[in-house]
Amino acid sequence: MRRWMAALAFGCCSLLADPAMPEYRGPDYFKLKALLPPGPDAALCFARSYDAEHLSQHPKQKVTELILSLRYVALGEDEATLVAKQDGGTEKQYFRYDFTLAAKVKDRGPTLYASGDCASAEGIGCGVDCDGGGIAIEPVPGRDDAILVRLERIRMTLGCGEGEAVDLEGDADDKLFKLTKAPRPICGSMQADAEKPLQ
């Protein structure tokens, strides 16, 4: 069964630290489908770059730029995953939602990347495999062009699982980020950069 990806690579460890998450990996994708309706090549891109004025007002903020890609991916018979049903049984699921996150951080030159799957129950959560943490996503009330991203901890790398993993933690001024919709090519370029082999 395909679970969370860790920094653009497949893994086989547990989901987010919350043990309740697996029981929601069934039919309840309502909030995700409301945010990103299913369809061929369905995707959303959100981004934010923090200017010097903002960072001077939040001196403890480490993150200077975030780009978030969300995708709906249809799965064939060979790729379909078994998910738990509310009655205790299982069924095949022929889709998944995934994410790629890029972050630029103070005092770190290269961009950091993380990737994995998303699900929704009471809220929308996206996580990295092997207890790599994740993010929570909330729509901004009254707006369809912005989301809130909540961070506790997420494991990130330099791309393609390369290099030493870094835990980006939601300390002080890095707990909540407001991102706005960006042109899809921005996320396409970000994902291409994430998949490049390191020189």
Per-domain residue ranges for the chain? 21-195
pLDDT tens, position by position, 127-175: 999 899 999 999 999 999 999 999 999 999 987 756 678 899 998 899 9
Residue 22 has pLDDT above 80, yes or no: no
pLDDT per position as a tens digit, 46-98: 999 999 999 999 999 999 999 999 999 999 999 998 888 888 889 999 999 99
Q: Exposed e or buried b for every residue in 86-104, given b needs 16+ CB within 10 A?
A: eeeeeeebeebbbbbbbbb
pLDDT in tens, 122-135: 899 999 998 999 99
Q: What is the pTM of this model?
A: 0.83
